[in-house]
Structure 1
Amino acid sequence: MNIFAVFEERIGEALESLTRAGSLPEGLDRRRVVVEPPRDASHGDLATNAAMVLAKEARTNPKALAELIAAELRADPRVTEASVAGPGFINLRLDPAVFGDVVRAALAQGEAYGRGGAGGPVVNVEYVSANPTGPMHVGHGRGAVFGDALANLLAAAGRQVVREYYINDAGAQVDVLARSAYLRYREALGEPVGSIPEGLYPGDYLVPVGQRLAAAHGRDLLDKPEADWLPLVRDTAIDAMMAMIREDLAALGIRHDVFFSERTLQHDGAVAKLLAELRTRGLVYEGRLPPPKGQLPEDWEDREQTLFRATDFGDDSDRPLLKSDGSFTYFASDIAYHRAKIDRGALELIDVLGADHGGYVKRMQAAVKAVSDGRAVLDVKLCQLVRLLRDGAPVKMSKRAGEFVTLRDVIDEVGRDPVRFMMLYRKNDATLDFDLAKVVEQSKDNPVFYVQYAHARACSVFRQAREAFPSEDFSPQALARADLSPLTDSGEAEMMRLIAQFPRVVESAAAAHEPHRLAFHLYEVASAFHSFWNKGKDLPQLRFVNQTDRKSTESRLALVEALRGVVASGLGILGVGAPDEMR
């Protein structure tokens, strides 16, 4: 039960009534009308901007229109007060019975409460896509968690989601990986290799790859020219790196439906075919690009190039498709890759990338628009850097990786749940300080502990209730029949309001592609629950379990179970556990 959607529909009925009465013109565009929680909870339970967004089109004063709408809503028995505020906002206060119905709906639906049936086109979410050249670092982890939670969120909102990983297994970086692994192969055979040459990957993670090559091939590869051994070593090294990456992702509870190989695009001729098609459509031409603004980069060449008309589709500049040696640019491969996604049925594409890919956004959105004839849309979500700290001090590099702290090191130290929740407890485009000491603290200042503790406490309430009333049925089905009229305290009302807001949070967070909204809401829910728990310490009549008052106990248990279900469902969407006990 989404009371915001219910009252959005009710406001639509009010507007239709005013139209029939001649107070409003026909055909008003209602798409910008929203029903949301008021900024200040003291103003009521719901607020709408209907008069503000419709007044201009209706050629009337916003405040006057708000009064007309409010008068219609006052006739609704569920509305106890409809007031006009400021220049034309309408605040609604609802009968408490409405929130009782919300609690019952949450009890009846369990963890399905708040999940929608939005439908719409298939959504392809591409995330992680780390180069298969070594273990994942903490920055990869942020994109991995964000993408996975976003995919979960979209699925919870009713969308059909494809989770995808793009394997960058073509290009210079995997040749460097092969040469680095070959050095470890020689080392495994007892050859002196000295220090790792500059330009190769120095981490110890390639030592097992070298040992595997030595066990499989003995000394046979030593006598072969690089052109012969490089493809074999490259394939072995990529397979080993992807196995390691999959293990790291599994440790975070992250899964993908599709692992798409960049190399297949080249082997299948997909890039060349797409460029020929774009050329036929007049979207590719030979020309020169103006120099970049400011100081010229050392690698800039003033030469005639094969260019994609990206500016025709909203980009700031046309973009090269071929390098000076005639090979495809990364952009050309990326266009073909996104076309492959569209050909597989996805018309809504989301790419989760590191912050250093900011220059990629406009060109790829232009490319997607071009190759789909405007049918597909691309949203690129950039994840900012993660600063890894311990008690406020920067953490040193990993010995195994050689250049950075691995994601697996962090997971092994603090656990999956703190990593996932804290990666989501800040908006993706803001830098994140991740303190290894603070994320395991058991305090209100540690959001993941605070939210999980709310679920554990709710479970403990039921353990207490079953000890106090051993013969009672406290199942969700039985509690849905409870009388909820005793829930009159302001703390109880706040918990019911937050339970009622949950479906809207899921829907709006999915629409905005912002999982942090859900993490913030869960912290609010937890805070309201802990506050009421503490209130009961001082006021025995407000305790969740009162052995001398079965009726109030039953009412509060219904509220606690509905709240517990919201926390469990929300944590599940974020990919975080909901423990019954905290140790």
Structure 2
Amino acid sequence: MTLHARFTAAINAVLDDLASEGALPGGLARSGLTVEPPRDPAHGDLATNAAMVLAKPAGTNPRALAEQIVAKLKALPEVSGAEIAGPGFINLRLTDGTWRDELRAIHADAGDYGRSSVGAGKKVNVEYVSANPTGPMHMGHCRGAVVGDALASLLQYAGHEVVREYYVNDAGGQVDVLARSAHLRYREALGEDIGEIPEGLYPGDYLKPVGAALAQEFGSRFVDAPESEWLVLFRERAVAAMIALIKADLALLGIHHDLFASEAEVQAAGKPEAAEQWLRAHDLVYDGFLEAPKGETPEDWEPVELPLFRSTKFGDDQDRPIRKSDGSWTYFGADMAYHFQKAQGVDAMIDIWGADHAGTVKRIKAAVAALTENKVQFDVKLIQMVRLLRGGEPVKMSKRAGNFVTLADVVREVGKDVVRFTMLTRKADAQMDFDFAKVVEASKDNPVFYVQYAHARIRSIARRIREAGIDCTRAPDLDRLDAEELALVKLAAQFPRVVESAAAAREPHRIAFYLYDLAAAFHAFFNMGNDRPDRRVLVADDPATTCARLYLVDGIGQIIRNGLAIMGVTAVEEMH
């Protein structure tokens, strides 16, 4: 149990005692009770709002209740002081021995320090990337890919069972365009001069290998054949080739999905019909007419009766058609059926979407609420765009890709770790710049470098201590650590709480922010030795202090490794 969890339990035990003594009514809700570090460390190590939350329902004064709570908390062996602040907040100071024990816990738990069981028994489906299978991954997909993958890892670290899913949009008109583009490259592979790529087809060179493979498999059989003879076949082959390309691109980022779900298969299996049937049975789909478009109505507009989902019943602005006038499924109708399918057997679903899909959030949330009868929690995370720069100037497009910068090119230039960490250095709903020059800059202003350098520096310290012949294999004397050094432990001990809060908020960037703060605190501690030799980790004539400080910084290194692992970033051993 983590330190914050222990003290939450201790405060709840105090409240139970007060209830049993008649000082508090029994059965009061405690959902709003918090135990967290105060904003100002000068106020103490932990703060709780227990008296503020419970005083009103208990019919008492917050400060009076706080006095009763404080009296009991002071009796705990780990508490060196407890005081009341303001109208009833309680600040706690913990003994130095408590923080030394927490440092030992970091070493004992190692890679599991910070893992949580808050998600135990809960299965979550995280769907991310889900780009159309019409070409390689580009940097427009990158941020959502990283955020989704890091979120999946974060939720697993917090105890959830996670399914990583990619939804393949292989049933729309764009895959027919892909098939026609592949047919053009197929003819080119057989020696035809195709000239300029016609408007409306995909121009990228990435389709040349697809055309070559089709030429090798089918020879000239489909060169002059009507489209009806080869469209479906070429579509299947081209989509399969694009999925293989997408998987390879994502692998460069260390991303591997558990499941690739096909839109075409969802429709072939009759899932949209099943969803419509279920909704009609529950009076949630009716045949009606859409309102005329707002503003100036087109002269040729005629009202058409369509099956409409009662999305307004679930907070949407208007009811939505699930079929078009020709009977085919609307994008919403197909997407609704897909969500109905993946909601089976999970407790929650999270979709990672580009910000350009913001307008469809309400309707799909309404559909999920209806189809799952509000039993499956559903969240959509919108990802803002990334602007690519090189030294402040916009990056030119890739000729190989046709009209975009490929993810593979970026990863090969700056590395997987730089890309992943950088994509998590801002909230997902805030726009960001990715400057090729800045993301590899060796400075404090580059979070990627700053955190990686902290870990590499810790590893370097350990090597230098071994080279100095100091044996730190035995249990260190942690009484050698003073208040300045224990302040590092206090920051490290916040990691489990950061994991739980980041998982609850579905915000993996919180891990990156925390690691930067931890790295900054470590670098400040290390740099004290530049002016004060007695504050260095390696004190040649004082092996006991050296080993205690090594144990401390090794613990910080462990936290950095654990956090970077959640982000999918390697903790480097040395910087070059």
Report the TM-score when normalising by structure 2: 0.96
What is aligned with 2:94?
94
**Counterpart in 2 of 1:20?**
20
CA distance in 2, matches of 1:260, 1:544: 53
Q: Note the alpha carbon deviations across 1:384-441, whole angstroms, 9 max, x for none.
A: 1001111111111111122211111111111100100010111111111111110001
Matching residue of 2:134: 133
Q: Which residue of the partner structure matches residue 172 of structure 1?
A: 173
- Give 3-state SS (helix, strand or coil) of 2:378's partner: strand
Q: Is this contact kept in 1: 2:285–2:310, CA < 8 A?
A: yes
Partner of 1:519: 512
1:344-372 CA distance string (max 9 Å, x none):
x1121111111111122222222122222
SS of 2:430 mapped into structure 1: coil
Answer yes or no: is 1:561 the counterpart of 2:554: yes
The C-alpha deviation readout for 1:172-231, integer Å capped at 9, x for no partner, is 111111111112222222333332222221222112212222222222112321111111
CA deviation after TM superposition for structure 1 residue 535, in Å = 0.2
CA distance in 1, matches of 2:263, 2:244: 17
> Cα distance 1:23–1:239, how it changes in 2: closer, same or farther (>3 A)?
same
Matching residue of 2:327: 326
Residue 300 of structure 1, CA deviation: 7.8
Q: Could you tell me how far 1:237 is from its partner in structure 2?
A: 1.0
Spell out the pairing of 1:126-165 with structure 2 (5 A cutoff): 126-165=127-166
User: Does the 8 Å CA contact 2:51/2:66 hold for their aligned counterparts?
Assistant: yes
Structure 1 residue 294 displacement after superposition: 5.4
Matches of 2:290 and 2:427, distance apart in 1: 36
Cα deviation, 1:503-547, whole Å, max 9, x if unaligned, reads: 111111111110011111111111111111100121111111112
Q: Distance in 2 between matches of 1:505 and 1:517?
A: 7
Mapped to 1, the partners of 2:60 and 2:321 lie a distance apart of: 52
Number of the residue aligned with 1:501: 494
Q: Equivalent residue for 2:275?
A: 274
Structure 2 counterparts to residues 170-249 of structure 1, below 5 A: 170-249=171-250
Measured in 1, the distance between the counterparts of 2:389 and 2:68 equals 56
Q: Is the 8 A contact 2:82 2:93 kept in 1?
A: yes
Structure 1 pair 300–372 and aligned structure 2 pair: CA distance change class (3 A): farther
| Letter aligned with residue 130 of structure 2 | S
- Asked if 2 retains the 8 angstrom alpha-carbon contact of 1:102 and 1:499, the reply is no
Query: Is 2:549 the counterpart of 1:548?
Result: no
Write the distance in 2 (CA, Å) between the matches of 1:332 and 1:539.
68
Q: Does 1:485 align with 2:486?
A: no
- Name the counterpart of 1:415: 415
Equivalent position of 1:287 in the other structure: 288
Deviation at 1:269, TM superposition (A): 1.4
413-422 vs 327-336, which moves further:
327-336
- Give me the whole-angstrom Cα distance separating, in 2, the residues matched to 1:325 and 1:25: 64
How many residues are paired up? 575
Residue 472 of structure 2 contacts residue 547 of structure 2 at CA under 8 Å; is this kept in 1?
Answer: no
Residue number in structure 1 paired with 2:572: 579
Equivalent residue number for residue 384 of structure 2: 384
Counterpart code for 2:530: K
Alignment of 1:34-113 (within 5 A): 34-113=34-113
Q: For the Cα contact (< 8 Å) 2:100–2:486, is it kept in 1?
A: no
Q: CA deviation at 1:293?
A: 5.1
Are positions 1:347 and 2:351 aligned together? Answer: no
When residues 79 and 201 of structure 1 are mapped into structure 2, their CA distance, relative to the original with a 3 A threshold, is same
Counterparts of 1:536 and 1:30, CA distance in 2: 46
* Partner SS state of residue 222, structure 2: helix
Distance 1:256 1:458, change over 3 A: same
Flag as ranges the 4+ runs of structure 1 deviating above 4 A: 291-301
1:11 is matched with 11
1:297 and 1:243 map into 2 onto residues whose CA distance is 44
Aligned residues of 2:33 and 2:48 also touching (Cα < 8 A): yes
Structure 1 range deviating more: 217-226 or 517-526: 217-226
Is contact 1:165–1:260 with CA below 8 Å preserved after alignment?
A: yes
Q: 1:134 to 1:271 in 2, by over 3 A?
A: same
Structure 2 distance, partners of 1:65, 1:110, is: 39
Rounded to whole Å, the distance in 1 between the matches of 2:59 and 2:185 is 76
Aligned alpha-carbon RMSD (Å): 1.7
| Structure 1 range deviating more: 14-23 or 565-574 | 14-23
C-alpha distance in structure 2 between counterparts of 1:293 and 1:101, whole Å: 66
Q: How does 1:368-383 map to 2 (within 5 A)?
A: 368-383=368-383
1:539 aligned to 2:540? no
Query: Which letter does structure 2 place at the counterpart of 1:8?
Result: T
Instruction: Tell me which residue corresponds to 1:303.
Output: 304
Q: 1:544 to 1:473 in 2, by over 3 A?
A: closer
User: How much does 1:330 deviate?
Assistant: 1.6
CA separation in 2, counterparts of 1:279 and 1:359?
Answer: 25
Judge conservation of contact 2:489–2:552 (CA < 8 Å) in 1.
Answer: yes
Distance 2:546 2:280 in 1: 73
Structure 1: state its 5+ residue gaps.
Answer: none
CA shift at 1:302, angstroms? 3.6
Distance 1:100 1:336, change over 3 A: same
1:165 positional shift: 0.7
Q: Which runs of 5+ in 2 are unaligned?
A: none
Confirm or deny: 8 A CA contact 1:80 1:93 kept in the other structure. yes
Instruction: Give, in angstroms, the shift of residue 169 of structure 1.
Output: 0.7
Q: Write the distance in 2 (CA, Å) between the matches of 1:52 and 1:314.
A: 34
8 Å CA contact retained: 1:124, 1:161: yes
> Contact conserved, 2:126 with 2:351, CA < 8 A, in 1?
yes
- 2:137 and 2:250 in contact (8 A); partners too: no
Q: Equivalent residue of 1:221, what SS?
A: coil
The corresponding residue for 2:394 is 394
More deviation, 360-369/516-525: 360-369
| Distance (Å, rounded) in 2 between the aligned partners of 1:211 and 1:488 | 69
Distance 1:387 1:24 in 2: 56
Residue identity matched to 1:216: E
1:360 alignment counterpart = 360
> Displacement of 1:572 after TM fit?
0.8
| 1:468 shift after superposition | 2.0
Alpha-carbon spacing, 1:181–1:78, altered in 2? closer, same or farther (3 Å): same
Q: Which moved more, 1:507-516 or 1:22-31?
A: 22-31
Residues 437-484 of structure 1 deviation map (CA, whole Å, 9 limit, x = unaligned)? 1000111111011101111111111111112235x243xxx4xx3221
- In structure 2, the residue corresponding to 1:222 is in which secondary structure? coil
